[in-house]
């Protein structure tokens, strides 16, 4: 598996090919599909921030290099929230994480709204994870280019007519890469994500996983987000999100074998073990006896 040139920006660097990077998920929402949302009606805002910091610190101690903070649920049929509400959720958390976590840790803002991303970057985030791949907010690409930060472009098939899912996803991502380059985003700062579960059927999700390596034709690192997703629950007989760890582990291991460079996950401790074992086999990553 040929490695790509590293992604370098500010004081950060992500090398590709030597090991798989782990992104831990911090959902500052009350309605996350996975059941891990930190917002509760009875919980004061300061307590939510404290829980987020404790969770992120645990993730980092367990091996996560990236922490992805989101303030709007992306589960199917979830109600959108305003930029103001999203900012009220994520900004205090990002500010606290920026102060509490080691400098090497990369804080990502999971949003498709440019204004949310702008204020999150001001607060200490340094990577944009856009589930609409620059297509929902026309200002997002310009912002990423001006700030010189990496951007994750995720294929989102919601509302799109699909013909052959792998070709459709590759075409979608290629179009978003063009948007990024036209706005001035540096080639090495583009990351792609097949968008497992975003407007795709369970059968299509399995096909995307089976043929994940075909995304390598895009020439960019691949982020894979399968953690606790409904397709896993369906394959395993209707298991709830909390019981999808083993299924997630299978998708992570297979995803790494097929070319994933970053895995976005809820259960960092368990998946870090999967990543280390997979890297030892796939990448020949050194280990200590």
What does each C-alpha distance from 263 to 21, 51, 170, 234 come to in angstroms? 6, 23, 19, 21
Whether 41 has a pLDDT exceeding 70, the answer reads no
Residue 161 lies in a domain: yes
Q: Is the pLDDT of residue 94 over 90?
A: yes
Confidence of residue 273 (pLDDT cuts 50, 70, 90): very high
Spatial strand order in the sheet of 151-154? 190-193, 151-154, 127-130, 106-110, 66-70, 21-27, 262-265, 223-224
Q: Is 229 a catalytic residue?
A: yes
283 assigned to active site: no
Q: Which domain holds residue 232?
A: 18-282
Indicate whether 275 pLDDT > 90.
yes
pLDDT at 51: 93
Mean model confidence pLDDT for the chain: 93
CATH of the domain at 27: 3.20.20.20
| Averaged pLDDT, 98-125 | 98
4 assigned to some structural domain: no
Q: What are phi and psi of 14, to 5 degrees?
A: -120, 115
Judge whether 104 lies within some domain: yes
pTM for this structure?
Answer: 0.94
Quickly list H helices, the chain: 45-62, 83-100, 114-123, 140-147, 165-183, 202-210, 230-235, 245-257, 268-282
Query: b or e along 54-87 (b: 16 or more beta carbons within 10 Å of the residue's beta carbon)?
Result: ebbbebbebbbbbbbbbbbbbeeeeeebebeebb
- Check if the beta carbon of residue 278 is closer than 8 Å to that of residue 256: yes
Local confidence band at 39 (pLDDT 50, 70, 90 cut-offs): low
pLDDT above 60 (res 33)? no
Percent of the chain whose predicted confidence (pLDDT) is above 90:
88
More confidently predicted of 134 and 74: 134
Q: What is the mean pLDDT of residues 240-262?
A: 97
| Per-residue confidence (pLDDT) for residue 40, from 0 to 100 | 57
Mean per-residue pLDDT, 39-57:
83
Residue 81 CA to residue 97 CA, distance in Å, equals 23
On whether residue 231 sits in a domain, the answer given is yes
* 3-class state of residue 11 by DSSP: coil
Establish if 24 belongs to a structural domain.
yes
pLDDT in tens, 164-199: 999 999 999 999 999 999 999 999 999 999 999 999
pLDDT computed for residue 34 by the predictor: 47
Please state the rounded mean pLDDT for residues 37-59.
82
Catalytic residue among 19, 147, 189, 264: 264
Q: Name the more confident of 36 and 177.
A: 177
In a domain, 216, yes or no: yes
Residue 8 included in any domain: no
Catalytic residue among 228, 229, 244, 273: 229
In the chain, how many domains are there? 1
pLDDT the model gives residue 173:
98
Per-residue pLDDT at 241: 94
Residue 35 has pLDDT above 60, yes or no: no
- The answer to whether residue 6 is domain-embedded is no
pLDDT of residue 204: 98
Q: Name which of 160, 68, 161, 149 is nearest 114 in CA terms.
A: 149
Q: Give, in order, the Cα–Cα distances in Å from 27 to each of 213, 224, 254.
A: 29, 17, 25
pLDDT of residue 124 exceeding 80: yes
């Amino acid at each position: 598996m040929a490695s790509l040139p590293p992604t370098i920006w500010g004081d950060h660097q992500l090398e590709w090919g030597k090991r798989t990077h782990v992104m831990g998920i911090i959902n500052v929402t009350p309605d996350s599909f996975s059941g891990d949302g930190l917002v509760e009606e009875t919980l004061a805002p300061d307590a939510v921030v404290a829980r987020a910091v404790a969770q992120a610190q645990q993730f980092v101690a367990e091996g996560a290099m990236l922490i992805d903070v989101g303030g709007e649920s992306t589960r199917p049929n979830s109600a959108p929230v305003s930029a103001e509400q999203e900012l009220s959720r994520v900004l205090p958390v990002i500010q606290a994480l920026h102060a509490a976590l080691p400098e090497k840790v990369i804080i990502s803002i999971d949003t498709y709204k440019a204004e949310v991303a702008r204020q999150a970057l001001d607060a200490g985030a340094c990577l944009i994870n856009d589930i609409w791949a620059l297509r929902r907010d026309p200002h997002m690409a310009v912002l990423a280019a001006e700030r010189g930060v990496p951007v994750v472009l995720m294929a989102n098939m919601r509302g799109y007519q699909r013909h052959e899912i792998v070709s459709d996803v590759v075409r979608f991502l290629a179009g978003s890469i063009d948007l990024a380059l036209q706005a001035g985003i540096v080639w090495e700062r583009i990351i792609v994500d097949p968008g497992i579960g975003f407007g795709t059927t369970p059968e299509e999700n399995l096909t995307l996983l089976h043929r994940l390596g075909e995304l390598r034709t895009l020439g960019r690192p691949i982020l894979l987000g399968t953690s606790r997703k409904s397709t896993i629950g369906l394959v395993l007989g209707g298991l709830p999100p909390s019981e999808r760890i083993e299924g997630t582990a299978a998708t992570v291991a297979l995803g790494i074998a097929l070319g994933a460079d970053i895995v976005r996950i809820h259960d960092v401790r368990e998946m870090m073990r999967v990543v280390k074992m997979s890297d030892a086999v796939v990448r020949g990553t050194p280990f200590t006896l």
